[in-house]
Chains A and B, each alone.
Chain A
């Protein structure tokens, strides 16, 4: 039983008053003033006869009447479970718990479980609650549709079954996912929905990604409660081994510094750190320190790039020492191993450098820390393939420059080489053009029966125009500062005719609209045909600054292993997992592709991106496309943003429309809702009428009884 206006119950205290008045000593009502009390002594007080209760029945009736009237004013009503259920809409709550790598810090995860325990004590059986954990992706641990009552479920146990992962924190995505899951559940339940809230239990690190919120209209009815987990103040620093190209772009280190050797590493110290001196050490796969350690001083809130000494060949990671929170102290990296590549020149050389193609090709320096490129000249042979018996790997010999007519029996070797990913450049200088065997040879080699070639008769020089800057050969010159080819004059060039549908791409043309450089892809490799020579007797190309980048572009892009050298957790791998591929994790587990679909869904909250989720811990991963091929290695590290563990300012979320719970306003709302609901229930029951009628009946009875008593004993005072 409940009361709508409990304040009026105080009126029942009025019962006590007549009883009290009866029991206390009755003092005479009238006072007589007297000139002086000098000669008067106070008389001892006498107990009046009326101190005793005479009319128990009347007193009882009067008390009862007062009680009923007070109860009627208090508006009592019965709050049955039906009536509560009938009017209350269920509250939809999402417990959104951070399990990103930063939650490995200190006792944050225990704090999170504790916080969930506290929150779950507030749930009622009518509520609808979902438990979602998130790192770079959200994962539903228990959905709204789960049958158990939220009040009786042990949410902290459900949460304790999972552990913080190594992935970064995408808070924006998780909030949107939580909000959408509420909306969807309300839609599915066909319900108006009561209070909608998302309780976020997290350390709210400033490195959380919030980008998803920018494109999301946050629902007005959904409020976010900010359950901040806090760490004791301490130092957190992180180390990141950089690629050399990173340093070129971002850190302003130039090529000269790159040549010094070693690996640039960036040490970042968090803004709220207390110490600033750290030590760096290389580690091998077994976790032992290798090489010399390096001392670095980085003030709090700053980051510094230092060049660590060239690591030993067995080093796999660089580790930072000297801070309290060690989850982000190791950066795995593939120590680049220098590879040797070869450019094969098949043709006859001349003594005069001005007339020699090879002379200028040999002077092209294509070396980098990762590779050494040498140019090897081969005399054209009638019977023997320039590659020997086996078709060379395109990694070892990325380019073949052909300046001769290969014998018919070795042409197939060239085709196989191109098919496997090699590049063949046919240089058609005046010597080749004038050779009548050239055209049939090319027709057969590139499989274009309409290919024709003749010498340009023009006496004037030609320039390169219509350059395809999207091509890898010319992409380096795309900027207007470098796109001036007008200094390169061609005195002699051939005129090429090709079949319309033979798949040739014109990368550059002469200003007489004749193609200058043609490309024809064949499976993994390419044919390049150049309608002029680069030697100074034919053109100024070899002497121009454009020559080296063009030749480098023909070598092809970076090796696949280079592309995979370093990845962040949760980042898309950038390559397709092919069937029969095998991925070996740092702990030795093998993942074979194609993946089992069930396993995929279990690991991943949503479909897709399964490969990114399989790579779930930092370390050195190895993978190979098939059983027989060689392993490629790549390093996987924490996202650098995960190390930014200083707390996020909630106002950043508010700027993007996220609404936070206002406790005071909510309490007022709850109270007003309850009063409204109680009022409706009371209106339906109207017990006060019954109580008031009962009180009137009692008063009538009391009047009757007291009237009879008075008439029976008129002289007796009551």
Chain B
């Protein structure tokens, strides 16, 4: 399966974001025939006993013939799933030790997911944010909507710092109907606020999926010699001797990651780390597995 995946470095050379997304989704479909998840996505939902007041139209007469009980046959919701992609565009996302930065990668991930969901006839919305919400596109399913999402994604942000708080508040206040919210960010910010607002979203019945975009150099701390390191967000500069700080960095980074994982697990949020050198299709797998694991595939209300 991995051989079928597309090398992100090669993918990123495609300048057009739509082409990139199509490329990933089509490659995903090609490999999907051999997917272990094949057959799970069915329209039938469940039977439930008939109670007074139910529409008799829904009674499954064949089952009545077999069991002599009235059962109502339930199908998946006819409305498609509402999905919001929340994409971090802060300055920290501009970091990249590869030929492309995290923002570019995140943009491609978002475009891919949007394309995929559009293909599934789901409604897709987009929130781009940095320290505040910079763009908000309500979830729709209509011709040209995907195009609109792509245009918004390609807009560059001038903001500096990351704040997940305000986008989450915005989503909580505007998205009334339950849906899937996919947060795409590096989450290089304190965890406390994230935890509080994720729980708020979960409390409102939203499904939340967190995709952490990280550069390999961020994990391994690949700076070799003593140098001045400048914070992309605040512009602050400090002198760093890698020999003395590498261990402490990795330790703290790991602790931060663990805190995020712990917070997500506690709230039933699926969280996964996407390294920028890993194929983008993984995001699709994560999406599908989220649906499977939460038991709320198509048709969930």
* Pairwise interchain contact B256-A39, C-beta atoms closer than 8 A: yes
How many whole Å from B222's CB to the nearest CB in chain A? Answer: 10
Q: Check B249–A39 contact: CB distance below 8 A.
A: yes
A161-195 vs B: 1/0 string, CB under 8 Å?
00000000000000000000000000000000000
Contact residues of A between 38 and 73, Cβ < 8 Å to B: 38-43, 45-46
Interface pick from A1-9, A13-21, A26-34: A26-34
- How far, in angstroms, from A37 to B230 measured CA to CA in the complex? 8
- Residue among B93, B95, B252 making CB contact with A39, cutoff 8 Å: B252
Q: How far is the CA of A69 from the CA of B189 in the complex (A)?
A: 57
Minimum C-beta distance from A186 to chain B (A): 75
Mask: chain B, 216-253; 1 = CB below 8 Å from A; 0 = not: 00100001001111111110111111001100110011
Contact between B227 and A42, CB atoms less than 8 A apart: no
Within 8 Å CB of A33, what residues of B? 95, 229-230, 232
Interface pair A32/B256, CB less than 8 Å apart: no
Kindly provide the distance from the CB of A360 to the nearest chain B CB, expressed in whole angstroms. Answer: 130
Given A27-B239, A40-B240, A34 and B231 contact (CB-CB distance below 8 Å): yes
- Tell me how many residues of A have a C-beta within 8 Å of chain B: 18
Chain A neighbourhood of B223, CB < 8 A: 32, 34
| B227 A31 Cβ-Cβ under 8 A | yes
A27 and B228 in contact (CB under 8 A), knowing A35-B188, A42-B240?
A: yes
Which residues of chain B are within 8 angstroms of A42 by Cβ–Cβ distance?
Answer: 238-240
Closest residue on chain A to residue B102 by CB atoms: A35
Q: Report the separation of the CA atoms of residues A353 and B229 in the bound assembly, to the nearest whole angstrom.
A: 145
Residue pair B226, A28 in contact (C-beta under 8 Å): yes
- Closest chain A residue, CB of each to CB of B228: A31
Chain A residue nearest to B235 in the complex (CB): A33
Cβ distance B253 to chain A, nearest Cβ, rounded Å: 5
| Closest Cβ–Cβ distance, residue A341 to chain B (whole Å) | 121
Return chain A residues, CB-CB under 8 Å to B232.
Answer: 33-36
- Hey, what's the 0/1 contact readout for B60-79 against A, CB within 8 Å counting as 1? 00000000000000000000
Task: Across the interface, name the chain A residue whose C-beta is closest to B236.
Answer: A37
- Asked if A40 meets B227 with Cβ closer than 8 Å, knowing A35-B188, A35-B215, A35-B232, the reply is no
Q: Is the CB of A28 within 8 A of B239?
A: yes
Complex Cα–Cα for A39 and B189 (A): 10
A36 and B232 alpha carbons, distance in the complex (Å): 6
With both beta carbons as reference points, the residue of chain B lying nearest to A29 in the complex is identified as B228
Specify which of A27, A32, A46 is in contact with B229 (CB 8 Å cutoff). Answer: A32
* A43-B244, A43-B245, A45-B239 known; A36-B227 Cβ under 8 A: no
Are A36 and B188 within 8 A (Cβ)? yes
Contact: A30 with B228, CB < 8 Å?
yes
Does the CB pair B227–A32 fall under 8 Å? Answer: yes
* A40: chain B residues within 8 A (beta carbon): 229, 238, 240, 245, 249
Query: Contacts A37-B236, A39-B256, A40-B245 hold; do A32 and B228 have CB atoms under 8 A apart?
Result: yes
What's the nearest-Cβ distance from chain B to residue A36, in Å?
4
- With A28-B227, A30-B228 already in contact, the answer to whether A35 and B245 are too (CB < 8 A) is no
With CB as the reference atom, state the residue of chain A lying closest to B161: A36
- From B248, which residue of chain A is reached at the shortest CB distance? A41
- Min CB distance B73 to A, Å, is 52
Whether A35 touches B186, Cβ cut-off 8 Å, given contacts A28-B226, A41-B245, A41-B248, is yes
Whole-angstrom distance between the Cβ of B130 and the nearest chain A Cβ = 13
B92 within 8 Å of A (CB atoms): yes
* Chain B: minimal CB distance from A38 (Å): 6
- When distances are taken between beta carbons in the complex, the residues of chain A under 8 Å from B256 are 38-39
Which residues of the partner chain A approach B102 to less than 8 Å between Cβ atoms?
35
For the complex, what is the distance from the CA of A30 to the CA of B237, rounded to whole Å? 11
Residues of B within 8 A of A39 (CB): 248-249, 252-253, 256
- Choose among A30, A38, A43, A45 the residue that contacts B188 (Cβ–Cβ < 8 A): A38
Query: Given the complex of chains A and B, what is the CA–CA distance between A34 and B102 in angstroms?
Result: 12
Q: Give A38 to B102 CA distance when docked, in angstroms.
A: 17
A43 partner, pick from B231, B234, B237, B240, beta carbons under 8 A = B240
* Contact between chains at A37 and B227 (CB < 8 Å): no
Known: A40-B229, A42-B238, A43-B240. A35 touches B248 (CB 8 A): no
Contact flag A43-B236 (CB < 8 Å), given A31-B229, A33-B230, A35-B188: no
Q: Closest CB-CB distance, A350 to chain B, in whole Å? A: 142
For residue B244, which residues in chain A have a CB less than 8 angstroms away from its CB?
A: 43
Q: Is the Cβ of A34 less than 8 Å from the Cβ of B228?
A: no
Q: How far is the CB of A379 from chain B (nearest CB, A)?
A: 142
Chain B residues with Cβ below 8 Å from A38 are 188-189, 252, 256
A40, B228: Cα distance in complex, Å: 12
- The CA of A39 and the CA of B245, in the complex, are separated in Å by 9
B93, closest chain A residue (CB): A35
- Select from chain A the residue with minimum beta-carbon distance to B234: A37
Chain B residues with CB under 8 Å of A43's CB are: 226, 238-241, 244-245
A35 CB → nearest B CB, Å: 4
- Least distance between A44 CB and chain B CB atoms (Å): 8
Our pick among B95, B227, B239 for the contact of A35 (Cβ within 8 Å) is B95
A265 and B105 CA atoms in complex are apart in Å by 117
Which of chain B's residues 86-115 have a Cβ closer than 8 Å to chain A? 92-95, 102
Return the contact of A36 from the options B233, B239, B248 (Cβ within 8 A): B233
In the complex, A31 Cα to B189 Cα: how many Å?
23
* A69-85 residues at the B interface, CB under 8 angstroms: none
Q: Across the interface, do A37 and B186 meet the contact criterion of CB distance under 8 Å?
A: no
In the bound complex, how far is the Cα of B226 from the Cα of A27, in angstroms? Answer: 10
Q: How far apart sit A46 and B239, CA to CA, in the bound complex (Å)? A: 10
Q: Which of A36, A38, A43 has the most CB of B within 10 A?
A: A36
A37 touches B226 (CB 8 A): no
For A45, the chain B residues whose CB sits under 8 A away are 239
Distance in Å from the Cβ of A394 to the closest Cβ of chain B? 121
Q: How far is the CB of A41 from chain B (nearest CB, A)?
A: 6
How far is it, in angstroms, between the C-alpha of A367 and the C-alpha of B142 when the chains are bound?
A: 142
Which residues of chain A come closer than 8 Å to B248, judged between CB atoms? 39, 41
Q: How far is the CA of A34 from the CA of B231 in the complex (A)?
A: 5
B239: chain A residues within 8 A (beta carbon): 27-28, 42-43, 45
A40 to B93, CA, bound (A): 17
Closest chain A residue, CB of each to CB of B256: A39
Alpha-carbon distance A45/B238, docked complex (angstroms): 10
B257 → A minimal CB distance (Å): 10
A35-B161 Cα distance, complex, nearest whole Å = 10
Report which of A30, A41, A46 forms a contact with B227, defined as CB distance below 8 A. Answer: A30
Q: Mark B189-229, 1 if CB is under 8 A from A, else 0.
A: 10000000000000000000000000100100001001111
Binary contact readout A587-624 vs B (1 if CB under 8 angstroms, 0 otherwise): 00000000000000000000000000000000000000
Do B92 and A36 have beta carbons less than 8 Å apart? Answer: yes
A27, A28, A34 interface centre (most CB from chain B within 10 Å): A34
The residue on B at minimum CB distance from A37 is B231
A43 (CB) vs chain B CBs: closest residue: B241
The smallest C-beta distance from B66 to any residue of chain A, in angstroms, reads: 62
- A639 vs B228: C-alpha distance when bound (angstroms): 94
The interface centre, meaning the residue of B94, B229, B232, B237 with most chain A CB atoms within 10 A of its CB, is B229
* Chain B contacts for A46, CB-based, 8 A: 226, 241
Point out the residues of chain A lying under 8 angstroms from B245, CB to CB: 40-41, 43
Residues of chain A contacted by B226 (CB below 8 angstroms): 28, 43, 46
Q: Which residue of A lies closest to B162 (CB)?
A: A36
Q: Report the bound CA distance from A35 to B227 in whole Å.
A: 15
CB pairs A–B below 8 angstroms (27 shown): A28-B226, A30-B227, A32-B223, A32-B227, A32-B230, A33-B229, A33-B230, A33-B232, A34-B230, A34-B231, A35-B93, A35-B102, A35-B232, A35-B233, A37-B229, A37-B236, A37-B238, A38-B188, A38-B256, A39-B248, A39-B253, A39-B256, A40-B229, A40-B240, A41-B238, A43-B226, A43-B244
Chain A residues close to B by CB (< 8 Å): 27-28, 30-43, 45-46
3 closest pairs, A vs B, by CB? Answer: A35-B95, A43-B241, A42-B238
Known A-B contacts: A32-B228, A35-B232. Give 19 more (CB < 8 A): A27-B228, A27-B239, A28-B227, A30-B228, A35-B92, A35-B102, A35-B186, A35-B188, A35-B215, A35-B218, A36-B232, A36-B233, A37-B234, A39-B249, A39-B253, A40-B229, A40-B245, A41-B245, A46-B226
